[in-house]
Structure 1
Amino acid sequence: MTVWDRPEPPTRPVPLDRERIVAAAIALADEGGLEAVSLRKVAARLDAGPMRLYGYISTKEELFDLMVDEVHAEILPEEQLGDWREVLRILAQRTRQAALRHEWLADLLGGRPTLGPNGLAVTEAKLAALDGLADLDTVMRAVETVSAYFTGAIRREIANLRAERATGLSKRDWQRASGPHVRRMLATGRFPALAKAVHDGTEVDAEASFATGLDWVLDAVAAKLARPPA
């Protein structure tokens, strides 16, 4: 029986429910990351005894599942979307925006599928957008490919943000600090393609890089959908 199927216990003197527990856990994670979340700390935030929480949630992993599903409610757009490409693009962008608000989400993306109502609704929106455009296996692979792209891109962006905070160096500060080493290595002539990229490449911000990569992946999906079945 999953955490969503298990009924909640009756209310006691300090009112509790899964919604309050999850909100407290998300607040803790937003402040200090997933390592700041434990049933004991959540109980303390709610001014309740830790054992009370076990009537609602059995393990910390269940709590993480509930937290991820709650954030998926932020990913679902309220407005009706257009074609499949717009649906997948907007859901990817909204996932990135949610991860920037809740950086801990990046640590949980790409794991086991979320089975909560909001996570299932996001998956349903992706599959429904492509329904009828190709056979089911192609649709599944298309959704997986887009998800793999934005999961990796989001994780990289969050990792960079964490590195900046840990070192106190912005991306430009880090480039200046590492510049002498990079120039010495490029001067050896062993890395001509990399040297060309460093000297002639155009630098773009994380948002533009995410959008460009996403468009390329969607172009590839579109090309696959346009092929006649074998």
Structure 2
Amino acid sequence: MTVWDRPEPPPRPVPLDRERIVAAAVALADEGGLEVVSLRKVAARLNAGPMRLYGFIATKEELFDLMMDEVQAEILPDEPPGHWREALSGLAHRTRRAALRHEWLADLLGGRPSPGPNGLAVTESTLAALDGLADIDTVMRAVETVGSYSTGAIRREIANLRAERATGLSKREWQRAHGPHLTKMLATGRFPALSKAVYDGTHVDAETSFTTGLEWVLDAVAAKLGQP
């Protein structure tokens, strides 16, 4: 039996239900990341004994599944997208925004799909927008390709944000600190392509980089789908 099929925990002695359990787990993760989340800590946050949670949630992985599905509600579009490109682009951007609100989401993206109600609704909405454009295998590869790009880009962005907090240096401060070494290395002439990128390339913010790369991937998907 999956965590989705189990009955809600009993309401006594402390009122407890799936919604409260997941909300407490998400709050813990928002504060300190997935590494601080445990069934025992969630129970303590709810002033409940941990055994009451163990009767409803068997493992920490099941708790992560519930948390992931909770955030999927933020990713679900308000209205069914009217165009396949709007569906895939909107999914990528909403996922990125959700990850910026809940950085721990980046650690779960790309894993096994969780069959929670919100996750299933997100997948249904996405596939429905591509229905009839190509055979189902092509449609699935298109969705996977865009998902792989957005997952990688989101993880990189979150990793940079975590590095800034860990070092106490902003991106600009980090560049200034490492600038003299990089300048010295580029002056050797051993890295002409990199030198051109550093001195001639346009440096953009994370959102612009994400959007540009996403549009390129969608252009490639459009070619495979035979769509303008």
Amino acid of the structure 1 residue aligned with 2:131: D
Amino acid of the structure 2 residue aligned with 1:128: A
User: Matched residues, percent identical?
Assistant: 83
The residue that corresponds to 1:4 in the other structure is 4
The residue that corresponds to 2:116 in the other structure is 116
* Partners of 1:190 and 1:223 in 2: CA distance: 38
Amino acid of the structure 2 residue aligned with 1:25: A
Amino acid of the structure 2 residue aligned with 1:164: E
Q: What stretches of structure 1 of length at least 5 have no aligned partner?
A: none
Shift of 1:59: 0.6
The residue that corresponds to 2:167 in the other structure is 167
Is 1:92 the counterpart of 2:92? The answer is yes
DSSP-derived class of the 1:63 partner = helix
The residue that corresponds to 1:184 in the other structure is 184
Is 1:127 the counterpart of 2:123? The answer is no
* Partners of 1:188 and 1:56 in 2: CA distance: 62
Amino acid of the structure 1 residue aligned with 2:137: D
Cα deviations by residue, 1:71-98 (Å, 9 ceiling, x for unpaired): 0000012133220001111111000000
DSSP-derived class of the 1:120 partner = helix
* Partners of 1:219 and 1:144 in 2: CA distance: 15
* Partners of 2:39 and 2:83 in 1: CA distance: 42
* Partners of 1:14 and 1:193 in 2: CA distance: 63
Amino acid of the structure 2 residue aligned with 1:152: G
Amino acid of the structure 1 residue aligned with 2:152: G
TM-score scaled by length of structure 1: 0.96
Cα deviations by residue, 1:123-157 (Å, 9 ceiling, x for unpaired): 11121111110111110100000000000000000
Shift of 1:55: 1.6
CA RMSD of aligned residues (A): 1.0
* Partners of 1:221 and 1:77 in 2: CA distance: 21
Shift of 1:10: 2.7
TM-score scaled by length of structure 2: 0.97
Given that 2:81 and 2:129 are in contact with CA atoms closer than 8 Å, whether structure 1 keeps it comes out as no
Mean Cα deviation higher: 218-227 or 38-47: 218-227
* Partners of 1:156 and 1:97 in 2: CA distance: 14
Amino acid of the structure 1 residue aligned with 2:147: S
The residue that corresponds to 2:47 in the other structure is 47
Q: What stretches of structure 2 of length at least 5 have no aligned partner?
A: none
* Partners of 1:78 and 1:125 in 2: CA distance: 10
